Amino acid sequence: METAAFRKITAIVRASALEGVEHRLHELGVPGLSVTKVKGYGEYADFFARDWMVEHVRIEIFVIRERGTEIAQAIMTAARTGGPGDGIVAVLPVEAVYHVRTGALGTPADLGWHTDVAE
């Protein structure tokens, strides 16, 4: 397996945008994702809250390298309101992906990830 065949996309977006993002990712045939409620502040802070924290969701996706930019763009399009606090998307190289059940090093094919881009 070549180095960095995978990308990890981490997006932190408004909770209200989650349904639209999930719908768009499903349309693109994204093979799986994880969603976690998170709390923090960055560009937008809730100055009226005692700790300034704002609730968002974190979406994490592992995909083949060739789909990283396409999926990041889809998340940004689906989550964008144009206001402060829309969130961020990071695309990072992944050196290896292992199957927890078997301990085997994964490849795009044996993880069921198609190398062709969904239309």
Judged against a pLDDT cut of 70, whether residue 65 lies above it is answered with yes
What single-letter DSSP state applies at residue 93? E
The band of 25, judged by pLDDT with boundaries at 50, 70 and 90, is: very high
Contact (CB, 8 A) for 8 and 60: yes
Place of tokens 């190289």: 93
- pLDDT value at position 117? 43
Contact (CB, 8 A) for 89 and 76: yes
Mean pLDDT of 1-15: 84
Mean pLDDT of 4-32: 94
Average pLDDT, the chain: 86
Q: Which class in CATH covers the domain with range 6-94? A: alpha beta
What single-letter DSSP state applies at residue 98? B
